[in-house]
Amino acid sequence: MAQKDHIRPDSRFQSWGRILCCLGFIGAFFLPLIGFSTIPASASEAHFKNQVIHTVSYAPQPFSWKRIPAHSILLKELRSGRILFEHEVGKRLSPASLTKIMSALIILEKGRLDDLATVSRNAAKAPKTHLRMKAGEVFRLGDLLKAMMMVSANDACLAAVEHVGGDEEQFVTLMNAKARALGLSDTHFSNGCGFDGPDHYSTAEDLAKLSEVAMRNAVFRELVKEEREIITPVSGYRAYVLHNTNRLLGRIPGVVGVKTGFTSKAGRCLIAKVSQNDSELLLVILNSNRRWNTAKSLIDYGFRLTNTVQ
């Protein structure tokens, strides 16, 4: 019996020992995990703060461009004033013949469309683009305006500029005064027709403002939406056929202007106004190798976006 009584206490101690060992093992394994789950409350917050949160956009996917196909772009919905797309809109660039928008405004303000203007030798020698007008030919000022706005004819432009301003230098002074009056702080002109020069520049933002002002003028609106015109000098019978350089006219519904431009420095430029349904878009593209495809993509995108919002 003594031997039997001695054995039973040892069994109990061994059982409790095993239980305590198991509890020790469990504690040693799980306590660090519990510790890690409670410690990183602040670390977890820091983790979420550093995460980039991607939001869901309900706007149409814009473009599949690998890179922006122009040095500067501005797309604006005119009725709301909302900017739908912009890229480098404050960058000073050569505006090429978009300059003629300002020239046309000055001519309309200071001249009379029935005035008779003589083409000078200086104007007749104007570089391309030109109509090859002859020195001494006399045109109505309104016809010169058509030629400079529809086909960017530099000989017609210079003839009109010299007639209204007395000479080009005085005319340019009027252009820069008008730019200041309109608040075009990043625009300066050194000639009346858009030739490249270090002091001849503007921005997409300023050109958009200028175009909005110009399109309020009824005569200007009529000029820039015409696809084809014929002008003749009052001093002869030679006819000049004008085909508007704006390829969007007649190809995209609602296009009502405004102007194209090109020089080697400025690249291919375009300002277009498009009206469809209850929306009006104004598009400015500066220095693009593929302005027509780019313009179509932006116009399509603009109307998809305005329809989505409405």
Question: Tens digit of pLDDT for each residue in 4-17?
Answer: 333 334 444 344 44
Note down the domain range covering 220: 72-309
Tell me the C-alpha distance between 138 and 141, whole Å. Answer: 9
Within a domain: 4? no
The reply to whether 256 falls in a domain is yes
For residue 91, what is the domain's CATH number? 3.40.710.10
Domain presence at residue 61: no
286 part of a folded domain? yes
The conformation of residue 96, written as its DSSP 8-state character, comes to G
Residue 16 lies in a domain: no
Q: Give the model's pLDDT for residue 31.
A: 39
Q: What is the pTM of this model?
A: 0.80
Residue 8 domain flag: no
Task: Name the token pair of 122.
Answer: 């200086």
User: Mind listing the pLDDT tens digit for each residue in 162-193?
Assistant: 999 999 999 999 999 999 999 999 999 999 99
- 258 cis-preceded (ω within 30 degrees of 0): yes
Q: What is the number of domains present in the chain?
A: 1
pLDDT digits (tens, 9 = 90+) for 53-102: 333 334 555 677 889 999 999 999 999 999 999 999 999 999 999 999 99
CA pair distance 247, 255, nearest whole angstrom: 10
Q: Which amino acid is present at 230? A: I
CB 149 within 8 A of CB 259: yes
Cα dihedral sign, 240-241-242-247 = negative
